[in-house]
Amino acid sequence: MIRRIQIALAVFLCLTGAVIGQDQAKLPHYNITADLDPETGALSVEVTITGVEGGPLALRRADWLTIENVAVGGSAHAFTPQRKGFIVPLSGAGPHDVVISASGTIPALASGVRRGGGGSAVSGAKGTFLSGYSGWFPFSGSAPFSYRLSVSAPAGTKAVSPGKILQETETATRYTAVFVSEKAFEAPSLFAGPYEINERDVGGIRVRTYFPAEIAGFSGDYLDAAGRYLTRFSAEIGHYPYEDFHIVASPLPVGLAFVNLTYIGEMIVPLPFMKGRSLAHEVLHNWWGNGVYVDYPSGNWSEGLTTFMADYGLAKDQGSEAAKTMRLQWLRDYAALPESRDARVRDFIGKEHQAAQIIGYNKAAFLFHMLETEIGQESFARGLRKFWSDYTFETASWSDMSRVFEVVAGRDLGAFFDQWLDRVGAPELTLADVQTEQTGDEFLTTVTVRQSTPAYSLLVPMDLEKGSGTERFLRRLDGPEAVFEFRTGEPVKSVHIDPDFDLFRRLLTGETMPIMRDITLAPDVAMLSLHDDDSLSEQALGLANSLIDRGSTAEIVAEAPNLTQVGSLPLIVVGEPAELAEFAKDNSISPVPEKLEAGALTAWAAQTPARLPVLFIAADGAEALRSARRSLRHYGRQSYVVLGGGKAPQRGIWPVASSPLMKPLTK
């Protein structure tokens, strides 16, 4: 999953005083000239800031960057060092032109680096990453602004940054590229490495890949995919708002999104999912988030809308069953979310952990699915285009979005948005009663549906199966209970409420089976190692901590022959297959199904008789436990997974017998 770093801007701008003029007719401008040597990490940079008002100019910089000279109006000028930057005192009303020269050695790109965050600055022979938030050049933090970035590097190195490519030259000894942006909201990041550049024109948009030689063969597939997504979203929303789109490989195990650029770990470039939904998601963010800006204090709508149009949109392309499967995955994820970690959609700012993703991505995407049903596909499509045309390069809130859809739908949608944005939780539906009788030549079927309180206003899909086929109805449920009547010319064989999971709701017992996220999303988890070897127990704890969500903790239970010593905590049990089978038997838990193949590591989710979630992990030894730290956490939506054994992972979800929202009718 790509992590977007623009969220930090909202926080940063709240903490940093605006010291540069904000006249929209003439934005403050940064002219940045950078000379970079990736292998040594040497960086020299000169920044000219024009349009600076009077008063102290506060600038931040990285602690490895040394300020060499400051000039104002062409003359040397004093500055005062600060903990995370420096201050340039300015007299007079301005505007002033401030020129700053600086140099330093970028921190080394360690071979064992595990993760590069949004604020990183690292460099080495394999590449350079200078996040705009790292302070790699002196920056005030005031926005919006314009910039011109010229970067020079030794021959063999290619560099790229968000913005339009203005010019590019290469000689026998140097490579130079210039990037410009007329209106930016975050400091430009800089990327460099031993890249091969491949390029394609897509309707006047320059699409590029920056891949090292080892993976350059994947460029064609990525250019094809990016071209399809740019064409698709331009048709659905409006013209792509930038002139370039860059796909840049990283030596770091990251996935980061920037304006008209995505930066992804070179190890995942070959994986099919990356050029599928993940790439589509990042392309679409150039409309939602980087084209229409998010009013973060009122909530982040962009991730939900992007997930709906990109991830879910591609699922719909595969057919109705694939779309249904994704909706059910979202509902299963929500069912696994502990009540203590539930939250309002409006409170979502960014994906700090999986729990936030379930709300801000999945539930918000479900909101748009239900909105499309509420107002119709045509009105929904017009609403998207109007939202884009009204707010291109402007900041928009959930309320702005609601007003746009109200205009195109010609109706008040306040109650719809309020219940899905401002309420924590979800409705729970019950098929309370179904009666049928023949009245002359007709058959009258009466269906009673209940929902939890306080009630939501729902358009409930209802399927009536008859001899001639199944007919879909939509009926409004506004209160705790409603009785619906259906008259048909033939007997109704069964009634099914929300059969395709079109409503965001709590799944009932029988609609879902245990999945690993039932345990890994819990705020606190107990971990029991059945190994006698302390080193194996240590590896088991390391695996447990790699599985649980950020902000959660795993507590070791030294000895737990029965579940009374665990209390109410979800449990991870690690041991040999025979030990796990004995533990499951002693605690009346279903054993691992025989259909699972042998592997280096087998994990499966279960429940105790009291419905306490349990995750069993059987491993061949320490190496299997250690290796699983990198992979097992990606299978949280599964009921079981078998890793190793020289085969592709065996995974799946335990089958559901029947839905409690379906009732067959008999004479």
Find the CATH number of the domain harbouring 64: 2.60.40.1730
Q: Are residues 416 and 435 in the same domain?
A: no
* pLDDT of the residue at 253: 85
- What pLDDT digit, counting tens, does each position of 500-522 carry? 999 999 999 888 888 888 888 88
The letter for the amino acid at 385 is R
Q: Are residues 463 and 528 in the same domain?
A: no
CA dihedral sign of residues 482, 483, 486, 490: positive
In a domain, 599, yes or no: yes
Domain C-terminal end among 193, 223, 257? 193
CB-facing half-sphere around the CA of 640: CA atoms within 13 A: 20
Higher pLDDT, 24 or 35: 35
Under the banding of pLDDT at 50, 70 and 90, the label for residue 20 is very low
* pLDDT of the residue at 11: 38
Helix, strand, coil percent content, the chain, rounded in steps of 5? 30, 35, 35
- Domain count for the chain, please give it: 4
pLDDT of 22 strictly over 70: no
* pLDDT of the residue at 25: 52
* pLDDT of the residue at 645: 63
User: In angstroms, rounded to a whole number, what is the distance separating the alpha carbons of residues 493 and 388?
Assistant: 46
pLDDT (average), residues 326-346: 94
- Highest average pLDDT, of 352-361, 403-412, 433-442, comes from 403-412
Within 10 angstroms of residue 597's Cβ, the number of other Cβ atoms is: 9
User: In angstroms, rounded to a whole number, what is the distance separating the alpha carbons of residues 661 and 667?
Assistant: 20
3-state secondary structure of 401: helix
Q: Residue 551 sits in a domain of what CATH number?
A: 3.30.379
Higher pLDDT, 567 or 397: 397
Domain extent, residue 642, equals: 517-652
* pLDDT of the residue at 2: 44
Token pair for residue 358? 């379930």
* pLDDT of the residue at 596: 72
| Cα→Cα distances 600→118, 643, 648, Å | 35, 6, 12
In a domain, 4, yes or no: no
* pLDDT of the residue at 623: 85
* pLDDT of the residue at 107: 95
* pLDDT of the residue at 18: 29
* pLDDT of the residue at 278: 93
| Cα→Cα distances 336→87, 304, 328, 444, Å | 50, 19, 12, 39
Q: Are residues 170 and 134 in the same domain?
A: yes
Under the banding of pLDDT at 50, 70 and 90, the label for residue 553 is low
* pLDDT of the residue at 113: 45
Within 10 angstroms of residue 555's Cβ, the number of other Cβ atoms is: 14
* pLDDT of the residue at 531: 76
* pLDDT of the residue at 595: 67
The letter for the amino acid at 401 is M
Under the banding of pLDDT at 50, 70 and 90, the label for residue 112 is very low
* pLDDT of the residue at 15: 32
pLDDT (average), residues 267-296: 93
* pLDDT of the residue at 566: 60
User: In angstroms, rounded to a whole number, what is the distance separating the alpha carbons of residues 475 and 469?
Assistant: 19
* pLDDT of the residue at 565: 58
pLDDT of 248 strictly over 80: yes
Domain C-terminal end among 174, 193, 212? 193
In a domain, 447, yes or no: yes
The H-or-E segment that residue 390 falls in is helix 377-391
pLDDT of 254 strictly over 90: no
User: In angstroms, rounded to a whole number, what is the distance separating the alpha carbons of residues 94 and 147?
Assistant: 20
In a domain, 254, yes or no: no
Question: Which of 491, 2, 50 shows the shortest CA–CA distance to 274?
Answer: 2
How many percent of the chain have pLDDT more than 90?
66
* pLDDT of the residue at 624: 86
Tell me which DSSP letter residue 532 carries: S
Q: Are residues 471 and 389 in the same domain?
A: no
Domain C-terminal end among 476, 507, 538? 507
Q: Are residues 496 and 556 in the same domain?
A: no
Q: Are residues 536 and 621 in the same domain?
A: yes
* pLDDT of the residue at 647: 65
The H-or-E segment that residue 314 falls in is helix 313-317
In a domain, 624, yes or no: yes
Question: Which of 206, 306, 251, 229 shows the shortest CA–CA distance to 221?
Answer: 229
* pLDDT of the residue at 541: 82
Under the banding of pLDDT at 50, 70 and 90, the label for residue 391 is very high
Q: Are residues 493 and 380 in the same domain?
A: no
Within 10 angstroms of residue 115's Cβ, the number of other Cβ atoms is: 10
pLDDT (average), residues 459-472: 96
pLDDT (average), residues 94-102: 93
Contacts of 407 (CB under 8 A, 6+ apart): 383, 386
- The single residue listed with the structure tokens 């891949």 is 211
* pLDDT of the residue at 7: 40
Q: Are residues 179 and 39 in the same domain?
A: yes
Mean pLDDT, the chain, as a whole number? Answer: 89
What's the whole-model pTM score?
Answer: 0.86
Q: Are residues 52 and 128 in the same domain?
A: yes
pLDDT of 1 strictly over 80: no
pLDDT of 450 strictly over 70: yes
Higher pLDDT, 141 or 563: 141
Concatenating the DSSP letter of every residue in 168-229 gives: EEE-SSEEEEEEEEEEESSPPPEEEESEEEEEEEETTEEEEEEEEGGGGGGHHHHHHHHHHH
In a domain, 278, yes or no: no
Q: Residue 354 sits in a domain of what CATH number?
A: 1.10.390.10
94 torsion bin: left (phi>0), alpha (psi -120 to 50), beta (else)? left
At 293, give phi and psi (nearest 5°).
-85, 150
* pLDDT of the residue at 24: 46
* pLDDT of the residue at 390: 98
Q: Are residues 531 and 636 in the same domain?
A: yes
Q: Residue 464 sits in a domain of what CATH number?
A: 2.60.40
In a domain, 281, yes or no: no
* pLDDT of the residue at 563: 62
Q: Are residues 539 and 633 in the same domain?
A: yes
Q: Are residues 479 and 533 in the same domain?
A: no
Question: Nearest 5°: CA angle at 391, between 387 and 397?
Answer: 80
Answer for the pair 495, 662: CB distance below 8 angstroms, yes or no: yes
- The single residue listed with the structure tokens 């902000």 is 551
In a domain, 663, yes or no: no
CA dihedral sign of residues 578, 579, 585, 591: negative
* pLDDT of the residue at 588: 87
Answer for the pair 112, 253: CB distance below 8 angstroms, yes or no: no
pLDDT of 9 strictly over 70: no
Concatenating the DSSP letter of every residue in 207-222 gives: EEEEEEGGGGGGHHHH
